[in-house]
Each structure stands twice: as structure tokens, then as C-alpha cells.
């Protein structure tokens, strides 16, 4: 089955700096890669996603890049703000298995004012 | 729309007790899933369903049962609780193509003594 590795496990930045979180996946058939943000005591919430036929996607301060050859994808957050502090998860899905996501281990992002 | 709802929010069980975690969605989504979240391990898929009457196992199904009699509801049953099942449980739903997003509920924090 699919295996997703996520790094780093913790990331501390100053407000206004950029943050980058990286994930690798094992199944070349995976074709959908979402990123979720989880705030304390809440369920994960989708912040951005990318399909395998796209190399990069951007939404305001958040961007995701995908390298299918190397089987890795990354989340980039620019101009970080204290409210960006949360746990971030990457995930991968294979084919049309809409109910099945394989998650990375999570990254605790702390943005210091 | 209420989205994905879960009850209860917190539960304490003794080893050997049984219980049912409730999950409901009002978005008419075909796909529903149960995940457990443990520290440092991300979210792991327990069971999932691709429609009413159809369920399948995920990565960590042992000790759990599910059924899907309606589109809206997807309960998770613990037959004989064990301390290893202490975790936070999340239910999720997805509408399938062309919408990829999985929507998560707020979670149930379960402690087994």
C-alpha cells in the first residue's frame, strides 16, 4: 500500500518568514495530494490540494509543488502569521479511492510574533 | 448544512466494554471513512464506505466494525474495547468526482482504561 513520509515533525519560524513542509510518497499510482491544517481540538481542514497532472498550485500565501518523478510534494507558506500556527498534514490518494487517504505523520508549525 | 457531525465528543470506557461512535453527514456524500489519530502517526484509515450497504477495511481495522445502512450515517462499533484503542477518532465524507475534498468531523476523544 501507499506510504507517506513527512518532514520536519516540528517547524518554528518568525512572523513574516516562509515555511516549507515536505512529503514523499511510495505509490506511483497516487494522483491526488491534499494538505490539511488541524487546529487544537478540531478536525483537519483542507487548505490546498493538487492533482498529479499539475506541477504547482497557488492560493494567496499558500502554494504546493509536486514532483512526480521524484515522488515528492511540498507545502510553501509565505509571509507567515501567528494564526498559521497549527499541525499540518500531507496526504495521498490512489486512483478513484475517494474514501481512502494515506496521511503523513504531521508537522507542528509555530509562528512566533 | 451541519457538514460532518460526530457524537460523543469525549468517552471513557473500561477494558472489555463496547460502544458505538456515531457519524452523520448532510451533504449527500457517497464516500465516508473512519480514521484514528495517534501522536506522531498522523491519521490512519480504519474502515471506509463507497455507498450505502458497501464497506471495506482500511489500514487498521482490527477491533472495529462498521455498517452503512443509509447514505447519511456511518457508525463505528468497538466490540470489546482495549487500551490500545485509546485515540482520537475522526469521521470524514467525500462527494467523489469531480470534487476531491474529504470533509472531517470534529472528532471523538476515546480513553480506554
Number of cross-chain residue pairs from A and B with Cβ atoms under 8 Å apart: 73
> pLDDT tens for residues B27-70?
999 999 999 999 888 899 999 999 999 999 999 999 999 999 99
Task: Spell out a b/e string for B50-85, using b for 16 or more CB atoms within 10 Å of the CB, else e.
Answer: bebeebeebbbbeebebebeebbebbbebeebeeeb
Give the model's confidence band at A25: pLDDT under 50 very low, under 70 low, under 90 confident, else very high.
very high
Given this model, what pLDDT does residue B67 score? 96
Q: Inter-chain contact A32–B50, Cβ cutoff 8 Å? A: no
Q: How do residues A68-99 score in pLDDT, each as one tens digit?
A: 999 999 999 999 999 999 999 999 998 778 88
Inter-residue contact B26 to B40 (CB < 8 Å):
no
When pLDDT is averaged across residues A24-30 and rounded to a whole number, the result is 95
In angstroms, the separation between the Cα of residue B31 and the nearest Cα of chain A is: 5
- B7 or A98, which is more confident? B7
Mark yes or no for CB contact A101/B90 under 8 Å. no
pLDDT for residue B102: 93
Amino acid at each position: 500500500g501507499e506510504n507517506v513520509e513527512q518532514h520536519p515533525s516540528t517547524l518554528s519560524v518568525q512572523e513574516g518568514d516562509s515555511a516549507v513542509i515536505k512529503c514523499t510518497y511510495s505509490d506511483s499510482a497516487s494522483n491526488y495530494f491534499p494538505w490539511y491544517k488541524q487546529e487544537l481540538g478540531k478536525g483537519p481542514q483542507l487548505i490546498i490540494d493538487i492533482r498529479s497532472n499539475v506541477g504547482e498550485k497557488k492560493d494567496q500565501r499558500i502554494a504546493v509543488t509536486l514532483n512526480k518523478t521524484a515522488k515528492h510534494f511540498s507545502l510553501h507558506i509565505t509571509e507567515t502569521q501567528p494564526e498559521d500556527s497549527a499541525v499540518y498534514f500531507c496526504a495521498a490518494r490512489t486512483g478513484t479511492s475517494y474514501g481512502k487517504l494515506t496521511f503523513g505523520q504531521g508537522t507542528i508549525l509555530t509562528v512566533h510574533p | 448544512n451541519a457538514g460532518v457531525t460526530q457524537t460523543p465528543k469525549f468517552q471513557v470506557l473500561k477494558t472489555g466494554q463496547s460502544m458505538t461512535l456515531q457519524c452523520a453527514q448532510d451533504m449527500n456524500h457517497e464516500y465516508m471513512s473512519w480514521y484514528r489519530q495517534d501522536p506522531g502517526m498522523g491519521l490512519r484509515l480504519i474502515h471506509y464506505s463507497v455507498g450505502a450497504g458497501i464497506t471495506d477495511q482500511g489500514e487498521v481495522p482490527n477491533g472495529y466494525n462498521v455498517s452503512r445502512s443509509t447514505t447519511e450515517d456511518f457508525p463505528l462499533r468497538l466490540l470489546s474495547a482495549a487500551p490500545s484503542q485509546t485515540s482520537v477518532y475522526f469521521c470524514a465524507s467525500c462527494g467523489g468526482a469531480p470534487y476531491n475534498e474529504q470533509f472531517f468531523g470534529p472528532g471523538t476523544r476515546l480513553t480506554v482504561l
